Structure 1
Amino acid sequence: MQLGLPRLIKPLDCYFFLLLHVGTNDIAKNNLEQIIADSVVLARRIKEFGVQVVSRSSSLLKEKAQAGTIKSWKLPPVVDYSFCKFRDGFRSRNGLVHVKNPHLDSMDENVLYHLNLGSKTHNLPVMFGEFVCVGGSPNRMKAFAQLMHKELGCERDGKDLKDICAGTDWYSVYKVGPVLSISHGMGISSISIMLHELIKLLHHAKCCDVTIIRIGTSGGLGIDPGTVVITDIAVDSFFKAWFEQVILDNIVVRSTELDKDLVEELLNCNKEIHDFPTLIGYTMCTYDFYEGRLDGALCSFSNEKKLAYLRRAYDAGVRNIEMESTVFAAICGLCGLKAAVVCVALFNQLELDQIKAPHEVLVEYQRRSQHLISLFIKKRLGLYNQMELLDNAFFLNN
């Protein structure tokens, strides 16, 4: 098996689950010392590929131990097997951000071009913290940074927050205490570029136990405008929980499941606010703002066909539609980041295609998801109390 691993596992591939089966015949024929020796060699070989291992000792091996045939059935510490659950994904055991690219270590410097940062030109470990919040609009993410500045009780005026990436016009980055607020633009391509550079940044900064949340807007599906949707699973236009991407001349498919515990934690935060409707549902990710709508420059289907499709989406569990969630979930999952998507619905796409609410109403809607995330962060940091919730509720309603 150890000789065959290089043919089975490619260094640049990503595996959600790797099953290695060692037959009971080997256990029945070999002594404990040989079994341990083989396990040690196999574990070391697997580690070279960065694969997380879930191991269960054979019941036959346990029976031998209980019968006194062998002294112990436990594998030695050097094998370093550990029990884990699927939802923990590729999160490393020390909480560090995991970059699955063997070529990065050989680079003298890693230039993060679109963020105007570099591993040699900037002291990254002192620049970044444990909470990363991303959203499409630079102005919206600056507003969120200012909100966190106020909520965390930071000194000086939050209006003068500095854009860390002011030397580039691609993305905006603001840091408030342990919180990083970053814009990612619109669409899969834009957020994908930002995520690659952000995750490399977090890796070089040696950040631990990072939580990353996309705060955005969306079109609702069968829900009232202003409802905040916490994404359970991001799905594509066929309602499948995967992100499909062409890399070189291969089609690579990656899971889009998000961290279940984080989803429940966010929902529980909202239960303490009682100020706007919040629910958990599937989020459908599209490639274009006008995809599946009647108001684009191009349209080849009827309103009846559109509504039939959207009803199928609703029946499949979809509650909102946006343009970034699948690639966000896929990349964060592969790199061991606990991730969530929290988007407010600006309108119900089963009723209309265009956003017609007044500007001040839309601004208030956008505050809702930001307020939920600010409460989540404050609870994580132990900085919130019930009286503040009442004050914030007044702020949202005025």
Structure 2
Amino acid sequence: MENANRDSQIGMQLPNPHLANMTKDNLYHLGMSRTSHDLPALFGDVKFVCLGGSARRMENFAYFIGQELGVLSTNERPPNLASNSERFVLYKAGPVLSANVCIYEHGIGVPSMLVVLHEILKMLHYAGSSEVTFIRIGTCGGIGVPPGSVIVSNAAVNGKLEHTYETVVLGKGIQRPINVDQELASEIHSCSRTEDPFSVILGKTYCTDDFFEGQARTGGAVCDINDGDEHRFLKQLDSEGVKNIEMESAGFFALCHKAGVKCGVVCVTFIDRLSTEDVPTDTDILSEWTQRPQILVARFIKKQLTNGV
């Protein structure tokens, strides 16, 4: 249907002057557009966007936060608002959006995450949303912390241990700073409780473009390093305050900062890389650990909404 509200007041301001002329903008990877959906009616009240890896995990989070906020009944599952897409899912529970960052067919890490992040930012811009906080909820490898620990990133570096993320535009590399909102990280961290059966740790995140060689693993299909190289590098990361390794934070922090929105990263560790490469095979344990950052983020969201955010 024609979106009668597409010219309504714009809320979130994005640093792209071309958007002013894109009245029919097709958000292809979300399966919606400014003309096919009433974006202000659907998303104008959004205050939090939570991004995670798998579609199922983010559906479960939407149900969980919906229960916590009292906006979904016990047996009510939120609909996938991106059902016209074969790539991403999008669920809404009150003022909270929940979306996956890994494309169905393939995809892990910054590239697929940036696709959905660009389109959600534009979607909320067109919807007139304002003061929106983005939070990535994920899993990771730990450095010197017990498996099952939750890491709240208070810094992040790229694969070269630099505080910048490089994107290539018109054949040239552009360096964008990886800026972390320290106040937001501290607020999320403060939502931990002494009775929690897991630690919540503020720490630096090492973000790579590869799961194997990029993370100093010797078990990939090809390898040019030895076990000693791996151990020395992991010890170096530990000495520099790195607490976890994952594959999205650099691009996430850089794009959100460029777009002018607050963001944070909260991940649970599956292993301590200083001790082992073997991820636990007990699916019940992994499922319980996966819920830990969701619990922490849900507490943060409830606290913010209670305080009138």
Tell me if both proteins adopt one fold, taking TM over 0.5 as the criterion: yes
For 1:180, the equivalent position in structure 2 comes to: 97
C-alpha distance in structure 2 between counterparts of 1:101 and 1:272, whole Å: 44
Deviations 1:35-77 (A, max 9, x none): xxxxxxxxxxxxxxxxxxxxxxxxxxxxxxxxxxxxxxxxxxx
Alignment partners' CA distance in 2, 1:265 and 1:272: 16
Mean alpha-carbon deviation: is it higher for 235-244 or for 323-332? Answer: 235-244
Separation of aligned partners in 2, 1:273 and 1:324:
30
1:274-305 Cα distance to aligned partner (Å, 9 max, x none)? 43101111111111122321221111110110
* Residue 365 in structure 1 maps to residue 282 in structure 2: no
1:293 alignment partner AA: R
> Residue 115 of structure 1 corresponds to which residue in structure 2?
30
Give the Cα–Cα distance (whole angstroms) in 1 for the partners of residues 195 and 32 of structure 2.
Answer: 38
Higher relative CO (Cα under 8 Å, sequence separation at least 6) belongs to 2
Amino acid at match of 1:170: R
Give the aligned length: 290
**Local SS of the residue matching 1:300:** coil
* 2:51 equivalent among 130, 134, 148: 134
**Does 2:126 align with 1:204?**
yes
- Specify the code of the residue in structure 2 equivalent to 1:98: Q
Structure 2 unaligned segments of length 5 or more: list them.
1-9, 103-107
CA distance in 1, matches of 2:274, 2:72: 46
Output the TM-score relative to the length of structure 2: 0.90
| Displaced runs of 4 or more, over 3 A | 155-159, 271-275
What corresponds to 2:192 in structure 1?
270
1:162 Cα deviation from its structure 2 partner: 0.5
Cα 1:123/1:275, change in 2 over 3 Å: same
Give the alignment partner of residue 183 of structure 2, picking from 261, 278, 281. Answer: 261
- What SS does structure 1 have at the residue aligned with 2:197? coil
Show the 5 A alignment for 1:218-367: 218-271=140-193, 274-290=196-212, 291=214, 292-367=216-291
8 Å CA contact 1:230–1:263 kept in 2: the answer is: yes
Partner residue, 2:87: 170
CA positional deviation for 1:143? 0.7
Q: Secondary structure at the match of 1:168?
A: coil
Amino acid at match of 1:122: H
Q: Give the structure-1-normalised TM-score.
A: 0.70
Distance change >3 Å, CA 119–CA 273, structure 1 → 2: farther
> Aligned-residue CA RMSD in angstroms?
1.7
Give the corresponding residue for 2:105.
none
Q: Which residue does 1:147 correspond to in 2?
A: 64
Q: CA deviation at 1:267?
A: 1.1
Q: Are the aligned partners of 1:239 and 1:316 in contact in 2 as well (CA < 8 Å)?
A: no
Aligned to 2:192, the other structure's residue is in SS state helix
Counterparts of 1:117 and 1:97, CA distance in 2: 19
Flag structure 1 segments of 5+ consecutive residues without an equivalent: 1-94, 384-398
> How far apart in 2 are the matches of 1:175 and 1:102?
28
- Between Structure 1 and Structure 2, which shows a larger proportion of strand residues? 2
